[in-house]
A and B are shown apart, each in its own frame.
Chain A
């Protein structure tokens, strides 16, 4: 039988991997144009981790105080520690208002001002109240609204499918191969255009706010396809992770006025960022917290500090921050109305990812050569909008805005380009991955290897880094990669084989973790979320540039491209808050 007659062969104009905000927004755009759009997701779309975003979506609507696009632009540049590309930020702030109004017209239940407009709250690093919010479930309502819009416009959904290989050759994307989790079996998706919108890679850490699904599958697939990743060393640690669990407690708490205090009851941010206090950007607050803990001022000398909401009062907590209240109560049995909540930094957001230009086209080198028909948006992409540190609320805006932009460009591309020919044996790579786990003779299991990776990434690749720790981590990763080759799975059935999926995800985690460490070792400076105790200063002379990393002959090869600084008024300067 010819491959394009097989039951598991799908020919679709635009195939979108990932059903979070970026993926759904892109799919909606393509579907509205009348082309066929399919979303492939390892979880049901409403389970995507965009729904975990709590605090808000940034846009200078000026509904709750004066604001301007210029101010949003400068705050984002400064927040990024000057590494973000200014042409990208310009496009971003110019589109941000439209994105929010569009969401409102779709029916998003934004919280309101007294006169019925979208309400906004202050957020870290933003100089005006810029976070448009729906209580503290902003990501949840945006995600559900977009999913519902996609249902209306007949987007095709392949729920519970895991992508195993990208069909990219000669710098042209031709489609991809995915495993049907529910039934078992490989499917070929032949597409004119493919979007990678697979989210972040925070699951490489033990203490993380990320969902089980956030295993960086997209970045690992790109690496496997011989394409580069950008700025992978920049990983944001969120200052208010629920102690031990790492679960996110939104910055909205501090936006509404919560304090962070140490063992002496001091609001210690006065030492580190006297002007902005708790609303300094996340990299700075997390470092301050970790410094307090390291110097013995954690609560009872332990590895946590307190998030204190008590002075906000019951009404504000219940009305504005109900999810935070519930999470602390459920997981730590702490009632935030009466008690301070134990918190610690938690791996949260991946600034790095798949390099792309302002049209969201994936690029394959420092010159910006485009891979035809391949796009990326949202957390898995690196445009670079967030540089070395992302501001809160810019992520939902990033995912939705560049999701829409991706949809526009993919539609345009699909109208102009025929389907590219599939390779001779499209299933070979994916089948090889399954066969090895099912037919291998090895005795290793995925769970202990993953545990070892996560524990050590938290220990050695956290808020503070240094060469010795990172070299240790690199050696550990090499050893774990070796062991991973010996992994087989208990479950040999096709139907809903979680064992198989977790083993496949582990290969991805180990693959990109090596890039994170190599990038961090090479970058001998401190910038944004990447802080090296052995090189504590930012070094613009040598390092105002992006890292590009490839896997070549089993090793990581690096190249660099200059950060885009186009505005004379936004030249790098000392970053103080």
Chain B
């Protein structure tokens, strides 16, 4: 471990006093093993208590701390500063209203999740024990269940930025996760919801979501399978 000097430029917005967002630079001396979250904590705890950001688990599972660092969407807690060198530029996720500094308004994001009916829909009676699901059937949805709803994907999606009504990659991935679950009987309802100009067809296979996903989920691939399913279903 060694100490290094870094320069951290943060997009600040304090709604009670700022008219619009502006940049503020913090010169810091920090440990070279620091993560982005360590840097934010250092600023918040030692230099400027007014800095606002979200964080909780600090082990890449809760999804609180997605933000844009040097142009890339990352989880602050798992991202070491050495990935970016000594100049950091930190800003909130794009495509969302800023509440304050790095905290953005996620209500629309979670509302979209609800729109696709994110729960198992069953026509059949419940078995006494578990439903039988083969390892192969589970495999079809396994990776998609890793999603931590951090919103890094939706914030990276050029189709999402100009169109607040677009479901976006996270909600569509969730639709995939249930439609392709061998236990589910609700595919028809959900396919109808996603078969819309603001549903799956607004995905233009740009791959940004996949590159932004901290869990490395092949989102674009799953959304493409969803498109195929919609077409198959309407034939």
Interface residues of A (CB under 8 A from B): 43-44, 46-49, 51-52, 61, 101, 104-107, 109-118, 134-135, 137, 140-141, 144-145, 148-149, 151-152, 182, 209, 211-213, 245, 247-248, 323, 326-327, 330-331, 445, 447, 451, 489-491, 493-499
Q: Is the CB of B63 within 8 A of A46?
A: yes
Q: Is the CB of A182 within 8 A of B50?
A: no
Given A47-B64, A116-B134, A495-B100, decide whether A211 and B58 contact each other with a Cβ distance below 8 A. yes
Q: Is the CB of B130 within 8 A of A494?
A: no
CB proximity to A under 8 Å, residues B55-97 = 55-64, 78, 80
Judge whether B25 is part of the interface by a CB distance below 8 angstroms. Answer: no
Given A43-B56, A107-B184, A112-B138, decide whether A117 and B61 contact each other with a Cβ distance below 8 A. no
- Residue on B nearest A139 in the bound complex, by CB: B61
Q: Is the CB of B49 within 8 A of A499?
A: yes
- Residue on A nearest B80 in the bound complex, by CB: A330
Kindly list chain A residues whose C-beta atoms are within 8 Å of the C-beta of B106.
Answer: 44
Interface residues of B (CB under 8 A from A): 14-17, 35, 44-46, 48-64, 78, 80, 99-101, 103, 106, 110, 113-114, 117-120, 122, 126, 128-135, 137-138, 141-142, 145-149, 178, 181, 183-184
Measured in the bound complex, the distance between the Cα atoms of B138 and A134 in whole Å is: 10
Kindly list chain A residues whose C-beta atoms are within 8 Å of the C-beta of B35.
Answer: 331
Measured in the bound complex, the distance between the Cα atoms of B23 and A518 in whole Å is: 48
Q: Is the CB of A52 within 8 A of B57?
A: yes
Given A52-B57, A111-B138, A140-B148, decide whether A496 and B99 contact each other with a Cβ distance below 8 A. yes
- Residue on A nearest B64 in the bound complex, by CB: A47
Kindly list chain A residues whose C-beta atoms are within 8 Å of the C-beta of B184.
Answer: 107
Measured in the bound complex, the distance between the Cα atoms of B60 and A481 in whole Å is: 33
Given contacts A107-B120, A116-B134, A245-B58, could you give 10 more A-B pairs where the C-beta distance is less than 8 Å?
A43-B64, A44-B64, A51-B148, A52-B57, A52-B59, A109-B181, A134-B145, A211-B57, A330-B60, A445-B45
Measured in the bound complex, the distance between the Cα atoms of B77 and A213 in whole Å is: 14
Measured in the bound complex, the distance between the Cα atoms of B78 and A445 in whole Å is: 27
Q: Is the CB of A447 within 8 A of B138?
A: no
Kindly list chain B residues whose C-beta atoms are within 8 Å of the C-beta of A330.
Answer: 60, 78, 80
Given A46-B149, A112-B138, decide whether A447 and B45 contact each other with a Cβ distance below 8 A. yes
Q: Is the CB of A211 within 8 A of B100?
A: no
Kindly list chain A residues whose C-beta atoms are within 8 Å of the C-beta of B113.
Answer: 151
Kindly list chain B residues whose C-beta atoms are within 8 Å of the C-beta of A134.
Answer: 145
Measured in the bound complex, the distance between the Cα atoms of B135 and A134 in whole Å is: 11
Measured in the bound complex, the distance between the Cα atoms of B227 and A189 in whole Å is: 45
Q: Is the CB of A490 within 8 A of B57?
A: no
- Residue on B nearest A112 in the bound complex, by CB: B135
Q: Is the CB of A498 within 8 A of B149?
A: no
Q: Is the CB of B133 within 8 A of A116?
A: yes
Given A101-B129, A496-B99, A497-B52, decide whether A107 and B15 contact each other with a Cβ distance below 8 A. no
Kindly list chain A residues whose C-beta atoms are within 8 Å of the C-beta of B147.
Answer: 144
Q: Is the CB of A499 within 8 A of B50?
A: yes
Given A47-B57, A109-B142, A331-B78, decide whether A151 and B114 contact each other with a Cβ distance below 8 A. yes
Min CB distance B112 to A, Å, is 12
Given A107-B183, A493-B16, decide whether A117 and B132 contact each other with a Cβ distance below 8 A. yes
Q: Is the CB of B118 within 8 A of A148?
A: yes
Min CB distance A438 to B, Å, is 12
Kindly list chain B residues whose C-beta atoms are within 8 Å of the C-beta of A135.
Answer: 142
Q: Is the CB of A491 within 8 A of B61?
A: no
Measured in the bound complex, the distance between the Cα atoms of B126 and A106 in whole Å is: 10
Measured in the bound complex, the distance between the Cα atoms of B60 and A211 in whole Å is: 11
Given A213-B56, A493-B14, A499-B49, decide whether A118 and B130 contact each other with a Cβ distance below 8 A. yes
